Amino acid sequence: MTQWRPPLSLIGAWLVLLALLALTVTLAYVPLGAGNAIVAMSIGTIKAGIVAAIFMELRHRSGLTLVFAGAGLFWLGILLWLGLMDFLTRT
Amino acid sequence: MPESSAFAPQYASIPHRDHTAELGMWVFIATEVLLFGGLILAYLVYRHAFPQGFAEASRHTEIVIGTANTAVLLTSSFLVAWAVEIFSPDTARITTWLLMGAACLGLAFIALKGVEYSKEFGEHLVPGIDFQFAGPRGNSIQLFFIFYFVATAVHALHMLIGIGLLIALAMICRKAPTTRHHTALHSAALYWHFVDVVWIFLFALIYLPGRSSS
């Protein structure tokens, strides 16, 4: 009766996600100036990457699925890049 | 899983059908990325314009509830991924329990969100209904809370749809699950994980800024 047990990769991903949550909340209280926002977004990106790679099984996918999954990110990049360029470069 | 005509005539095989369903979900998720992306773009523009106001507003959010809700969502995603992984006719019972557990965690998230909303209402932080904030940064704080309520309400709507999907799949998978059910569960799971990813970023943008200064 081992067929109902979750794979170790899933348990590992879940525990790492909870640890990263604890880490990001802790670091939010450490004064790092502008670094706080960078740390928060970086840890968020790592968490999202773990969810996408392991929970959403993208690490077992190739080719077309990765292109389709990446398309959303690509368009998001265009949206944020062109949308923010004006505001970030104004003097 | 005995099923001879488990796929529509446009598909060559069951894996072909499943692959198509997965690609379709990713196209849908791309549209959702852009929906939340637009909101986040607006947030970033205003945070860039009013950094102090946004930091001060963020300190008025309930970080304990926000953190608990993040843990709840991550755990519920784990349960769904587990259910997808072990899905088979022999494990129908445990799959059903895992999906019901994930749906209950989703409801717990919504309940905690409700507690949070009522606290913010009590503190007069709801723009358009009751917003009062004394101080020079009142306007930018109001902008932050407009983003906060729109983004979290749109996210909560996605949660409610996801909870409905999980409960429906738990009911369907209880008896004689087939590969079609596995495909449906896999699609719903992708959606649920995506809603989790959105929350990961909303959490970082809403609750974490401004904590290290006062």
Which of B2-16, B109-123, B162-176 has the lowest average pLDDT? B2-16
Question: Does residue A62 register a pLDDT over 90?
Answer: no
Tell me how close the Cα of A63 comes to any Cα of chain B, in angstroms. 11
Question: Does residue A91 register a pLDDT over 80?
Answer: no
A11: closest chain B residue by CA: B78
Query: Which of B59, B93, B200 is the best substitution to test chain A (most A C-beta atoms within 10 A)?
Result: B200
Which of A64-68, B102-106, B133-137, B202-206 has the lowest average pLDDT? B133-137
Indicate whether A1 and A37 sit together in one domain: yes
- Model confidence band, residue B174 (pLDDT cutoffs 50, 70, 90): confident
Task: Give the closest of B26, B48, B193 to A87, CB-based.
Answer: B48
The reply to whether residue A51 touches residue B30, judged by beta carbons under 8 angstroms, is: no
DSSP, residue by residue, B121-153: HHTTEETTTEE---STTHHHHHHHHHHHHHHHH
Q: Would you state the CATH architecture of domain B17-206? A: Up-down Bundle (1.20)
pLDDT (tens digit per residue) in A7-33: 999 999 999 999 999 999 999 999 998
Residues 6+ apart with CB under 8 A from A14: B74, B75, B78
Mean pLDDT computed over every residue of chain B: 93
Q: Identify the residue with better confidence: A78 or B14.
A: A78
Q: Give just the sign of the alpha carbon dihedral B182, B186, B191, B196.
A: positive
pLDDT score of B214? 61
Q: d(Cα B102, Cα B100) in Å, to the nearest integer?
A: 5
pLDDT score of B4? 54
Break chain B into its structural domains and give their ranges. 17-206
Chain A partners within 8 Å of B203 (Cβ): 44
Indicate whether A90 and A66 sit together in one domain: yes
Percent of chain A at pLDDT exceeding 90 = 82
Question: Does residue B8 register a pLDDT over 90?
Answer: no
Task: Domain of residue A45: give its range.
Answer: 1-60
pLDDT (tens digit per residue) in B115-164: 999 999 999 999 988 888 888 888 999 999 999 999 999 999 999 999 99
Indicate whether A10 and A46 sit together in one domain: yes
Question: Does residue B198 register a pLDDT over 80?
Answer: yes
Q: d(Cα B44, Cα B60) in Å, to the nearest integer?
A: 18
Chain B partners within 8 Å of A40 (Cβ): 204, 208-209
Q: Residue B19: which of B29, B8, B11, B31 has the closest Cα? A: B11
Indicate whether A17 and A42 sit together in one domain: yes
Indicate whether A40 and A71 sit together in one domain: no
ipTM for the predicted complex: 0.94
Largest CA-CA distance found in chain A, in angstroms, rounded: 66
Q: Which of residues 40-79 of A touch B (CB under 8 A)?
A: 40-41, 43-44, 47-48, 51-52, 54-56, 64-65, 68-69, 71-73, 75-76, 79
